[in-house]
Chains A and B, each alone.
Chain A
């Protein structure tokens, strides 16, 4: 007997929750308990009084699984609202990466030139290293990292995706 894989989609979900102890474990635990995937997860409080947090999750699954993920999140007691940004339509997705590149000579010059193309900022440097700060969509960051690997990338820290719907309507 073999397990058959199914076609999957990538969706970005935006979830507003009560900012309380254990909330992240609750959300992340739901994904592990039901066998859903988390590609990226970010969380921070977003209201003046720090009572509400926004969690942005990038998940993959079949359309049926994505629908279940949304429904399962939506019924959790501390969850206020779940928005499937991918299903909703136009939205902005950004993440930030800090990229440490070590090298001298041509590699160093090439790294700087590529960084300029990708609008990455130098936030730290030594004689033989840079740390770049780059923001953008996941694909842009992936591409930037791919290039940096050729010119001495030694370490990466990524924030994961933060996302928000386009236009004047708030979710």
Chain B
């Protein structure tokens, strides 16, 4: 007979069997048995964050940069609710994550006990799946299934709510096989329908103005998918644009690269989408930030859509060919079929000539200044100074995020960590911590804004404790810049509460946490400041004072179509009608 283990030991054993190396967490009353089990083992490293929200984002950064699931361990009640933002963020951006939450003992559930909350109820809508475990004998299977669900199909967060008495009670544990997991109905479709792949290949071969529109799904599918994408693009000759989440899957140095599309995408990417006769959407989901006004979105194109999530197909934009399956595998099938049928790339000279006309607009240009540091210029100089080291870049949310997406070029996947779907300010610092733990030798930089960085500023202490040499590069314009930009655009410049008043002295703050603090104020000092940041082998926070009123262009305003992009700041100040105000 198998020796019985406590629920806490079953959890640790299952995590070990699943190859978990790092857990981001914060202890509390309802997880004390698990923390005691952690104390007695050496295989799993626990990273103590400063707030549970930081643990969830750190796990996201770890997952996004390594391809492995991020693991979070928090206590009941406030521990669980603090993690909810990060869990929702992981759901929106399809990040594999397993969150173990402590719960009050089963006899106390429903009695409004101390630090009790309905974690399963609260997280039902922000997880791919969740569990309340009432029997330690089922815990092992549930932990294994949770990892299977989090990492297969469309990845996402899974919560396991574990009452304290179940952590203490004992049961036998043995490692289950995938086939013996409890939910038999869960079988994500990986291989795409051959007939649909054929239809897609023939459409690509016949298209005169094709464009690949790729998304985070290509990155989630694994590094091979990025390789196959390059091959598919090479043999078809078509141009490529990407969503915010998909940056890095295709190299920005390629002549076929058009830059990001959507609200702050390039002119050439958006115009090419508008004028294309065929859009091949690979692992993206026609988000409102991408499509702009739907009835004017790419009016004359056929659409091929490959997605692993059936509910993404035909959700926003009707596809002529909707392909359910793993995007990497589907692209492999397309490449094989293309070569098997000896298709040649169409002559796309005329198409690229039009694209070059749009490129000539130089939509990412910005006014140079010798008096103040232009934020776009700061990012470009940061790229110049670091790109050879293939850095991992995280961001917070706002103008700096969009500028980073526009001006920091990526050549490979898993280097770009940003909160796309949920748009969570405060994501970047903990995500950088997670990424650095997963990639100890990488250069990890959080490109931040002075407002966002304060949302999880407590995590400076985590980086200090684990000697993580991450760099936080704050573009400080003393405004919640994106809010202010929308107020310029929509509310005649009435800056309601968007000024970052009473800012801390970031240099002193950094020093108080044991970091190096640097301030860059003069454009002439920018390169030296960046060099000083990179030269320090510990964590550095840079307070880079940038032009205060710069706005992020190009921009497709609310309610506008791709062809109505705003390219220049002069077009901006004004008041919008109610229809436009009501759009997101």
Residues of chain A whose beta carbon lies under 8 Å from any beta carbon of chain B = 1, 16-18, 21-22, 25-26, 29, 33, 64, 67-68, 71-72, 74-81
**Residue B310, interface by CB 8 Å:** yes
Contacts of B309 in A (CB 8 A): 75
Cβ A68 vs Cβ B315 within 8 A: yes
**Residue B578, interface by CB 8 Å:** yes
Within 8 A of A (CB), among B154-186: 154, 182-186
Binary per-residue interface labels of chain B (292-324) against chain A in the complex, 1 for a CB within 8 Å, 0 otherwise:
000000000000000001110111000000000
Chain B's nearest CB lies how many Å from the CB of A119? 38
Chain A's nearest CB lies how many Å from the CB of B531? 49
Give CA–CA (A25, B120) in the complex, Å: 11
In chain B, what residue has the closest Cβ to A76?
B129
Cβ B128 vs Cβ A77 within 8 A: yes
Q: Which of A1, A64, A71, A77 contacts B129 (CB 8 A)?
A: A77
In chain A, what residue has the closest Cβ to B182?
A18
Give CA–CA (A29, B121) in the complex, Å: 10
Cβ B124 vs Cβ A26 within 8 A: yes
Contacts of B120 in A (CB 8 A): 22
Contacts of A33 in B (CB 8 A): 125
Cβ A71 vs Cβ B149 within 8 A: no
11 A–B contacts, CB within 8 A, in A order: A1-B579, A16-B185, A29-B124, A68-B311, A71-B313, A72-B311, A75-B154, A75-B310, A77-B129, A78-B183, A79-B185
Cβ B132 vs Cβ A18 within 8 A: no
Give CA–CA (A75, B128) in the complex, Å: 9
Cβ A18 vs Cβ B183 within 8 A: yes
Q: Which of A16, A21, A71 contacts B311 (CB 8 A)?
A: A71
Given A71-B310, A71-B315, 17 additional A-B pairs, CB 8 A:
A1-B579, A1-B582, A17-B185, A18-B185, A22-B124, A22-B132, A25-B124, A29-B124, A29-B125, A67-B314, A71-B311, A76-B129, A77-B149, A78-B183, A78-B186, A80-B184, A80-B185
Give CA–CA (A72, B128) in the complex, Å: 11
Chain B's nearest CB lies how many Å from the CB of A100? 34
Contacts of A75 in B (CB 8 A): 153-154, 309-311
Given contacts A1-B578, A1-B579, A72-B311, contact A77 B125 (CB under 8 A): no
Q: Which of A16, A76, A77 has most chain B Cβ within 10 Å? A: A77
Cβ B183 vs Cβ A77 within 8 A: yes
In chain A, what residue has the closest Cβ to B312?
A71
Give CA–CA (A65, B27) in the complex, Å: 43
Binary per-residue interface labels of chain B (178-219) against chain A in the complex, 1 for a CB within 8 Å, 0 otherwise:
000011111000000000000000000000000000000000
Contacts of B183 in A (CB 8 A): 18, 77-78
Contacts of A67 in B (CB 8 A): 314
Within 8 A of A (CB), among B564-579: 578-579
Number of residues of chain B lying within 8 A (CB) of chain A: 24
Q: Which of B132, B183, B311 has most chain A Cβ within 10 Å? A: B311
Contacts of B186 in A (CB 8 A): 77-78
Cβ B578 vs Cβ A77 within 8 A: no
Cβ B121 vs Cβ A64 within 8 A: no
Give CA–CA (A56, B129) in the complex, Å: 22
Given contacts A1-B578, A72-B311, contact A21 B124 (CB under 8 A): no
Chain A's nearest CB lies how many Å from the CB of B146? 10
A-B pairs, top 10 by smallest CB distance, nearest first, are: A80-B185, A71-B311, A1-B578, A77-B129, A71-B310, A77-B186, A72-B311, A33-B125, A77-B183, A75-B311
Cβ B132 vs Cβ A21 within 8 A: yes
Give CA–CA (A71, B311) in the complex, Å: 5
Give CA–CA (A71, B120) in the complex, Å: 23
Contacts of B121 in A (CB 8 A): 25
Chain B's nearest CB lies how many Å from the CB of A134? 35
Contacts of A71 in B (CB 8 A): 310-311, 313, 315
Give CA–CA (A26, B314) in the complex, Å: 23
Within 8 A of A (CB), among B114-159: 120-121, 124-125, 128-129, 132, 149, 153-154
In chain A, what residue has the closest Cβ to B316?
A64
Contacts of B185 in A (CB 8 A): 16-18, 77-81
Give CA–CA (A30, B154) in the complex, Å: 18
Contacts of A78 in B (CB 8 A): 129, 183, 185-186
Give CA–CA (A74, B183) in the complex, Å: 13
Chain B's nearest CB lies how many Å from the CB of A19? 12
Give CA–CA (A17, B129) in the complex, Å: 14
Contacts of A74 in B (CB 8 A): 310-311
Contacts of B184 in A (CB 8 A): 18, 80
Contacts of A26 in B (CB 8 A): 124
Contacts of B125 in A (CB 8 A): 29, 33
Q: Which of A16, A29, A75 has most chain B Cβ within 10 Å? A: A75
In chain B, what residue has the closest Cβ to A72?
B311
In chain A, what residue has the closest Cβ to B188?
A75
Contacts of B314 in A (CB 8 A): 64, 67
Chain B's nearest CB lies how many Å from the CB of A42? 20
In chain A, what residue has the closest Cβ to B579?
A1
Contacts of A22 in B (CB 8 A): 120, 124, 132
In chain B, what residue has the closest Cβ to A78?
B183
Give CA–CA (A64, B120) in the complex, Å: 30
Give CA–CA (A16, B184) in the complex, Å: 12
Chain B's nearest CB lies how many Å from the CB of A78? 6
Chain A's nearest CB lies how many Å from the CB of B322? 11
Chain A's nearest CB lies how many Å from the CB of B117? 15
Give CA–CA (A42, B545) in the complex, Å: 61
Give CA–CA (A29, B127) in the complex, Å: 13
Give CA–CA (A80, B187) in the complex, Å: 9
In chain B, what residue has the closest Cβ to A64?
B314
Chain A's nearest CB lies how many Å from the CB of B418? 25
Give CA–CA (A40, B185) in the complex, Å: 24
